[in-house]
Amino acid sequence: MLTRVLFALVLICLAVPASAQEAKVLALGLADHEVTPEELDKGATLPAPRFNSPAIAYARVANLKKGDVVEIALVNGDTPLLHNTETLAKDQASFLLQAGKRGVPAGGWPEGSYHAALKVTRDGKALIEQSSPPIPFE
């Protein structure tokens, strides 16, 4: 009986911390404006950027720890155009980071397919590396 109780306690202790500490991507993509957490909570489809509109890459990530480094980039093909990086000063249940341009480059955005590229690093090791599906700017 004591063995069963100890086994159950070990299982509980091992399962809870692992699931509570896993960072996960809640939202990742491109929009034609700076997004808000409220917009992402609604789950509505955000307007995609066009060649003549602003372009913002966004990532919302959950279960981040103090010291985690979050990087988001607006990428054309394989070329990062604009990026933003933040090292967290405290634990974050949910964190939104964006990179892009509120205006339009002279002559519009260059041709190509664009995507958002996210990287989360913890203790010097890549925890998450993910990209949004590429979209052409029409």
Question: What CATH topology corresponds to 22-136?
Answer: Immunoglobulin-like (2.60.40)
> Tokens at residue 77, please?
């093909």
Dump pLDDT digits (tens) for 83-116: 999 999 999 999 999 999 999 999 899 999 999 9
Dump pLDDT digits (tens) for 35-59: 999 999 998 899 999 999 999 999 9
What are the domain boundaries of the chain?
A: 22-136
Burial group, residue 92, by CB count within 10 angstroms (0-12, 13-18, 19+): middle
Entry pTM? 0.84
